[in-house]
Structure 1
Amino acid sequence: MPIITVQFIKDVVATPEQKRELIEKLTDTFVGVLGEVVRPYVYCLIQETPQAEWGIAGKPMPDLAFLTGPQYADYHAKANAIMSSVIGGAPPTEPEPVKDWGS
């Protein structure tokens, strides 16, 4: 049985209507690739993590000051420089500003 798993931060990322739409469209996409024969067996799970039970770069989230501040931007710049040197790509560009998805 195929299982599609989507993970969200609880009460931040998606509304109940958006979750229902994701379940429908993810299932339809899976069936579109493998055929209608799999539809009855496709499970689509949405797992939500409470806001205080996750983190980025060792910082518990949500911490918007950290995500929009210079330390996090510096982490990205250093990681991009390392990746660029490994793959020989163009120098990294400035990271895009973090969007406020909670409003």
Structure 2
Amino acid sequence: MVIPLAAGSGILLFIFHANFFGGNEIAARLSGPCSVQAVVLNDKFQLPVFLDTHFIYSFSPVPGANKLNIRLTEAPTAKVKLLISAYRVQLK
């Protein structure tokens, strides 16, 4: 269920490059090279918050089912693991 957003608020989508280690340890990064080329939600491109990096995107889900497609660069030998999370934010 998507709750309507108040003025000055929105949702940000974070796409971390992640390394998962044994147990409960995860190393995630939001800097450096990024394999994400584009984020498409319900057939609409989502815009990166910072134009020089593709780790954080504006995100506009709709009520009901949503279809998220994350396009990655082609790197046949790379094993990219992504940790994806969305957060509601409010300007103050």
Tell me the TM-score range normalised by the shorter chain: under 0.3
Select the structure that is richer in helix: 1
TM-score (norm 1): 0.25
Query: Radius of gyration: which is bigger?
Result: 1
Q: Decide which structure has greater strand share.
A: 2
Q: If the length of structure 2 is used for normalisation, what is the TM-score?
A: 0.27
